[in-house]
Amino acid sequence: MVLSVRPESTSNWIRQRGQRHPASILFRVRPGKGVAPNKLSAQHDALKLALELDAAQDMRFDIDKGYVTIDVPKLDKDRYFVEASDLWSRWKRPEFGLRVPLGEDRFGNVVEIDFTSSNSPHLLIGGTTGSGKSEALNTILAGITQHYTPDEVRLQLIDPKGTELEHLSESEHLDGEIGWDEEDAIGILLRAVEEMQARYASFKNAKVRTIGDFNANVAEGERIPRWIIVLDEYADLTSEPDAKKTIEGHLKRLAQKARAAGIHVIIATQKPDASVISTNLRSNLPAQIALRVKSSTESRVIMDDPGAESLTGKGDAFFKASGVLTRVQCAKI
């Protein structure tokens, strides 16, 4: 097999042909003429041995713009993390809409979630224990409470464990108390559906189509806040079939119609199983954050693509919106 790699030093080759990420380095390799790309991926075990990777570390092979890309995880001593305070200092909130910083890509750019975009109005977060799922969720919520007032954004939270979101129990952004079971989830979702319908009635009377247009045409005291509805540990809320059917029914209505009304849903789970996250549910959550999972099957459940099984944990994630995958190191509080 022949690879068209320049005869340069390793460090210079990385600089010229590699892109650094907090948790990995992406190498771009152009195979020699007549060499099938799958011959490179077939060398997975030999490369892993040569690079002295740990058993839990894995590489991701892909094809991009005429190159085979090899995403190689860094050793723990070589990776770095992103502090939320540093991320926020490099980010400016928009004058309109709802955007929230998530983390940093391999170029050092801030990656944000735009809840006002049709590509990412609702979000699915999945990852196994130790992947950084809870930290990613809390970074998003901290970004909201840090940069938007309670008059701009209200939170509706469901936390079955009673520990993951407890620090927000006294937040001025929180509506009511934090829920903890399927009955609470059904109540919050039903209220959100009713609120959505009431908002659209108000929009019709005001002859506008969206919450942005409505708020731009009324006095400050009459503006409607956006709602963020969070269902953490989704598997614990849908273990009972009747409750699951009701919850998914409300979620489907919200996911299909609530964006223009300023109501957004975030679902998080440590059990990204097809019996928990159905294809229909995921299709109604157009943006996904996939942290480390146990298998490619679980990766596909979250974002309809393999690869999350090769992530390194501790906030290393794929953010997918409008079909585009971005590897991101989620910031930590």
pLDDT at 237 over 70: yes
Domain that holds residue 262: 84-330
Cα–Cα nearest to 57, from 33, 23, 97: 23
Same domain, 53 and 125: no
Name the residue with higher pLDDT: 234 or 9. Answer: 234
Note the pLDDT of residue 13.
36
Same domain, 146 and 27: no
Judge whether 127 lies within some domain: yes
Same domain, 54 and 161: no
Judge whether 79 lies within some domain: no
* Interstrand relation of 24-29 and 18-20 (parallel, antiparallel or unpaired): antiparallel
Share of the chain above pLDDT 90, in %: 68
Note the pLDDT of residue 19.
64
pLDDT at 21 over 80: no
Q: Which of 73, 96, 126 is the last residue of a domain?
A: 73
Same domain, 21 and 165: no
Mean pLDDT of 299-316: 93
Mean pLDDT of 31-55: 88
Point out the annotated binding site for ATP.
127-134
Note the pLDDT of residue 79.
84
- Give the total number of structural domains in the chain: 2
Cα–Cα nearest to 291, from 163, 159, 141, 129: 129
Provide the whole-model pTM.
0.86
Cα–Cα nearest to 247, from 225, 277, 271: 277
Render pLDDT for 163-180 as a digit per residue (tens, 0 to 9).
899 999 999 999 999 999
What gap in Å lies between CA 141 and CA 79, rounded to an integer? Answer: 25
Contact between 175 and 155 under an 8 Å Cβ cutoff? The reply is yes
Render pLDDT for 64-78 as a digit per residue (tens, 0 to 9).
888 898 988 887 788
Note the pLDDT of residue 23.
85
Point out the annotated binding site.
127-134
Same domain, 105 and 165: yes
316: DSSP letter: E
Note the pLDDT of residue 3.
41
Note the pLDDT of residue 18.
55
pLDDT at 30 over 80: yes
Same domain, 130 and 190: yes
pLDDT at 268 over 90: yes
Note the pLDDT of residue 2.
38
Judge whether 284 lies within some domain: yes
Q: How confident is the model at residue 107 (pLDDT cuts 50, 70, 90)?
A: confident
Same domain, 148 and 249: yes
Cα–Cα nearest to 183, from 137, 236, 222: 236
Average pLDDT of every residue of the chain: 90
Judge whether 193 lies within some domain: yes
Mean pLDDT of 320-326: 92
Q: Which of 54, 73, 92 is the last residue of a domain?
A: 73
Mean pLDDT of 300-323: 93
Note the pLDDT of residue 191.
97
pLDDT at 12 over 80: no
Judge whether 261 lies within some domain: yes
pLDDT at 22 over 90: no
Same domain, 272 and 242: yes
